[in-house]
Chains A and B, each alone.
Chain A
Amino acid sequence: MHFTLAAKFLWRDWRAGELTLLLWALIIAVGTVTTITLFVDRLQQALLNESSTFLAADRVIASSDPIDPDILARAEALGLKQAQTLSFLSMAFSEDRAQLASVKAVSDSYPLRGTLIVADAAFVRGTPITRGPGRGEVWMESRLLPSLGVETGDLVDIGVASFPIVKVLVKEPDRGGGFNSAGPRVLMNLADVAATEVVQPGSRISYRYLFAGDPDTLGEFEDWVKPKLGLEGRIFGVKEGTAGIGSALERAERFMLLGGLLGVILAGVAIALAAQRYALRHYDHVAILKTLGATPDSIDSIFVVMFVLLGTLATMLGSGIGYFAQTAAVQILAPLIPIELPAPGMQPVWLGMVTGFICLLSFALPPLLKLRKTDPVRVIRREIGDASIADRSTYLFAIVGTIGLMWWYSQDLWLTTLVFTGGVVAILALSIVAYFLLRSGRIVGMQAGSAWRLALAGMQRRGRENTMQILIFGLSIMLLLILYLVRTALIEEWQAQIPVDAPNHFAINISPEDTGPIRALFAENNIASQPLYPMIRGRITQVNDELARERDKRREQTTGDSGPGASSGRNLTWSATLPDDNRVIAGKWWSSEHTGEAQVSLEEDLARSNRLKVGDRLIFSIQGRELIAQVGSIRTVAWDNMRPNFYIIFSPGALDDFPSTYMTSFYLEKDQKLFLNELLSRYPTMTVLEVDALIEQIQTIISQVTLAIELILGLIMIAGSLVLLASIQASMDERFKQHAILRTLGAGRKLVLGSLAIEFCALGFFAGVLAAIGSEITVYALETEIFQLDYHVNPVVWIMGPVVGTVLIGALGTIATRKVVNTSPTTVLRGL
């Protein structure tokens, strides 16, 4: 082991500037990964914490019956925090009025996450509070006070018990929707429920058991509890609990992972380029060492020691810079980030350090280990041993390293496979395109002036190197475009999903004779509402002469899926036209004048999980009678668009013989909330589900996630620029030599600088064209396979790619190589 010699070489190479690029590439690699990981980690934690407030907990067990006390004992033993809520519909009475209310009784520890907002009077701004009502008191939602004709301090009766109204409830974290949220909210203490005598055997009650704790313990508890819950109970976290937030968070996480993954690839490319350059410049050194008796093994040991020392230094510096960069970014962005970020942990720092070493091993070490094969005859004949330092083992290391890092980083084999395969195919295809672009450039160049001819002929002469450089430029720009496009598509999708005026109230149980007047009332008050859909409860009993229950049992046995089957009870409707946001994916939607045999359209997931297809004959049981219908189409449904959505829709006329109620959804501004009192007092039999608070929270979360995504994009842009610089830097030696010779032959500075600018602009243009092709294809795959978005062609890419390529590479390249014309030819040639 030649430690002292290696340390001496390291120090001297550093002082001579030989390692600057490699060291910076490593530092930026580790720094970028650390910054992104730290930031993502903090943001994910913060978003999850914030999102947990939707549930007022980290995990919730929802059940229609009390759960086994052993489950609560287990949670206690595991050290999880617990709370309980119990919801039911009940009449609230004042001295002279009554109103159906949605009562929620909460234990003393409620809420475990988030805060309640309360006020001392109705319709005023509230203040946050971290506990629920105490014993012997109730809190009420603002609009309940005028409808009961009461104020804070007055008494209301729930069941047989009387309680003073102590606070006005402005907002509760886990308001959500559902049947028991139908009326205006009354919040009371769980200990007071018995006194009301409202809860009797057979009462329709929702039990919610709330848990909070560290993620590992929660995971352990969830795994243990799942098999113990009956059909009526289920455990869920924020991701499963609220579909809209769940999918937004999941997509955001995937985007951040993709961003991190691209950051690692970009850093790897920068390191590989810098290491290749370093190795190329050390051929002669190694040849000299070999003539002096250095064996191949000692060459290995010298360079391995050097790079371990360098790697240690770079990872430490990179982690430090990453840590402080994200701290500074958080400080600067604090006014823009609406949630408080938890303290940074050490795990992302370790992740950055390990990433640095893996990058070093995969991308930098292989070309260096090739140095052992340097032919010592090179000291006499320099032309010997100039063969490429990259061989199969180099590529193998880089491939294994890249796949390993991508997998480790994304924890997603499918995403890794997709990005890696896409990358390899893109490199192969783009190499061919780059070669032909270069050829076409030469043909054009031959017709042009001297600077052009010089630049384009030079590009052609160094065809292999320039093809490689176009590829690297192209891939860097492509990765940036991909990230930009996916980010834009995600944000647009989210904004479209829940627009500002998305319906935020559902009205159900509307009698047929009330539909006309209600429609008129909405119009009169300028309330935007969706169409009124009939709604009838029913279930499928037979599928193609086979009992639906038997099919469900078989499905449960074969797939283990105990979820709702074909025979589960569902809300049925009919419609002449395909609802907005629904898309037929199999079969055909019926004509609006459809008559004859009844047809049904099934939602995609229902059809797939129950193996139902177009043409199947279904028998429904509705209100004790049978109805036969054929599956006419399968369709997708946008569940999170806040409009009435149905699994099963019948053709017109099919449900005419069955009495039904109607439902709709509508949008109310905050200051229109009192309209609900008027609506409910005129039509007391209808029920209104208020989801405005839920939507507001979803919109807040989405805006936070959007901001996070913008930040990740910015960080990756920095990493991408470094690759571009590394690539330009890697070709500097060759350019120095060629242009020094040209200048000794009489080429002026202007001509040389002009040809350099043209060369880089042309390389950038070609790279931009490649990037546009590559990113369009990759974005198609990513959007359809990973992010489940609808793909649209992106015309902007075909302009942005070449323009960004030409301007960015042209400017960076010319600035970075200005030294070529500023260094005297004598100095350059003496160094040859």
Chain B
Amino acid sequence: MIKTVDLGKTVQTSEGQLTILKGINLEIKKSESVAIVGASGSGKTTLLSLLAGLDTPTRGQIFLGDHELNDLDEEQRARVRGEMVGFVFQTFQLLSSLTAMENVMLPAELRNDPDAEEKARELMHRVGLGHRIRHYPRQLSGGEQQRVAIARAFASSAAVLFADEPTGNLDTKTGGHIIDLIFDLNAEFGTTLVLVTHDAHLADRCGRSILIESGELVVEGG
């Protein structure tokens, strides 16, 4: 499902060039759940943004499904994201001006899917927020906001779900519920899960862990 070949990312800073990722080679299979772990600044979030097609590498290749992301322009990468990718972020990233339900409808609406509302309603019930569909993000707790974000991620019928520190802004108990929800839905929809975390317990729940240190892939464990 996902493959990288000699993937590298270098950025220009005021103090010169900074290499964030150095020659990463990895492969993630369909329906697999993989945790990317590492210390702050190790490059794990950069790796996630490259794998998801949010950013472009400075060297190497990325394959997502049948697409080689390097060959695609911004327009095409956006389409691939819309068709294949769902996201869950640490800071939820909901649109504050839309209701919970409308946030969940967005991916389908962007594809002009006429069933956007029906699917969104179903997912809102599935994440346990059927009674909060008309609420705005500011009216929801952190845990509830993250549930909405999860519902939105699955609303795009994504093949791959990328989650960046999904429990980072939540207390332990709520975080636990969120992780349960993600793994349940992942199993239900047969999605490939790529999860960035520095929580060892969370990483343990994934099928495989990838340890990144100073931009290099150090360990791949099962």
Chain B residues with Cβ under 8 A from A291's Cβ?
52, 54, 81, 85, 87, 93
> Contact between A380 and B45 (Cβ–Cβ < 8 Å)?
yes
Chain B residues with Cβ under 8 A from A16's Cβ?
96-97
> Contact between A292 and B54 (Cβ–Cβ < 8 Å)?
no
> Contact between A296 and B78 (Cβ–Cβ < 8 Å)?
yes
- Beta-carbon contacts of B22-52 to A below 8 Å, as 1s and 0s? 0000000000000000000000010011001
Question: How many positions in chain B have a CB within 8 Å of any CB in the partner chain?
Answer: 32
What is the total of A-B residue contacts with beta carbons within 8 Å? 87
Q: A292-B81, A295-B75, A297-B75 are in contact. Are A380 and B156 (CB under 8 A)?
A: no
Q: A291-B93, A294-B110, A297-B75 are in contact. Are A380 and B164 (CB under 8 A)?
A: yes
Question: How many positions in chain A have a CB within 8 Å of any CB in the partner chain?
Answer: 29
Which residue of chain A has its CB nearest to the CB of B48? A380
Per the bound structure, the CA–CA distance linking A641 and B93 in Å amounts to 74
> Contact between B54 and A5 (Cβ–Cβ < 8 Å)?
no
Taking CB atoms and an 8 Å cut-off, the chain A residues in 334-384 that contact chain B are 375-377, 379-381
Q: Does B55 contact A (CB under 8 A)?
A: yes
Q: A8-B102, A292-B106, A296-B75 are in contact. Are A380 and B97 (CB under 8 A)?
A: no
Chain B residues with Cβ under 8 A from A588's Cβ?
none
> Contact between B82 and A292 (Cβ–Cβ < 8 Å)?
yes
- Beta-carbon contacts of B71-113 to A below 8 Å, as 1s and 0s? 0001100110111010101000111111000100011011110
Per the bound structure, the CA–CA distance linking A4 and B106 in Å amounts to 11
> Contact between B109 and A288 (Cβ–Cβ < 8 Å)?
no
Q: A377-B54, A377-B55 are in contact. Are A9 and B97 (CB under 8 A)?
A: yes
Chain A residues with Cβ under 8 A from B147's Cβ?
none
Chain B residues with Cβ under 8 A from A294's Cβ?
78, 82, 110
> Contact between B164 and A12 (Cβ–Cβ < 8 Å)?
no
Q: Indicate which residue in B74, B93, B96, B107 contacts A293 across the interface (CB closer than 8 Å).
A: B107
Chain B residues with Cβ under 8 A from A284's Cβ?
93
Per the bound structure, the CA–CA distance linking A297 and B79 in Å amounts to 11
Which residue of chain B has its CB nearest to the CB of A302? B110
Chain A residues with Cβ under 8 A from B54's Cβ?
290-291, 375-377, 379-380
Which residue of chain B has its CB nearest to the CB of A830? B138
Q: Indicate which residue in A5, A12, A15 contacts B109 across the interface (CB closer than 8 Å).
A: A5
Which residue of chain A has its CB nearest to the CB of B75? A295
Per the bound structure, the CA–CA distance linking A409 and B96 in Å amounts to 41
Chain B residues with Cβ under 8 A from A5's Cβ?
106, 109-110
Q: Which of A2, A9, A377 has the most CB of B within 10 A?
A: A377
Chain B residues with Cβ under 8 A from A298's Cβ?
78, 110
Main secondary structure of the interface of A (DSSP, over half): helix
> Contact between A18 and B97 (Cβ–Cβ < 8 Å)?
yes
Which residue of chain A has its CB nearest to the CB of B112? A2
Chain B residues with Cβ under 8 A from A13's Cβ?
97
Interchain nearest-CB distance for A4 vs B (Å): 7
Which residue of chain A has its CB nearest to the CB of B81? A293
Q: A16-B97, A377-B54 are in contact. Are A293 and B48 (CB under 8 A)?
A: no
Per the bound structure, the CA–CA distance linking A294 and B110 in Å amounts to 6
Interchain nearest-CB distance for B142 vs A (Å): 11
Interchain nearest-CB distance for B160 vs A (Å): 13
Interchain nearest-CB distance for A579 vs B (Å): 73
- Beta-carbon contacts of B48-68 to A below 8 Å, as 1s and 0s? 110010110000000000000
Chain A residues with Cβ under 8 A from B164's Cβ?
380
Q: A4-B109, A377-B54 are in contact. Are A288 and B79 (CB under 8 A)?
A: no
Per the bound structure, the CA–CA distance linking A2 and B164 in Å amounts to 29
- Beta-carbon contacts of A283-313 to B below 8 Å, as 1s and 0s? 0110011111111111000000000000000
Per the bound structure, the CA–CA distance linking A293 and B49 in Å amounts to 14
Interface, chain A (partner B; CB < 8 A): 2, 4-5, 8-9, 12-13, 15-16, 18, 284-285, 288-298, 375-377, 379-381
A-B contact pairs, 21 of them (CB 8 A): A2-B109, A4-B109, A8-B102, A18-B97, A290-B81, A291-B52, A291-B81, A291-B87, A292-B110, A293-B81, A293-B82, A293-B83, A293-B110, A293-B156, A294-B78, A295-B82, A376-B54, A376-B55, A379-B93, A380-B54, A380-B89
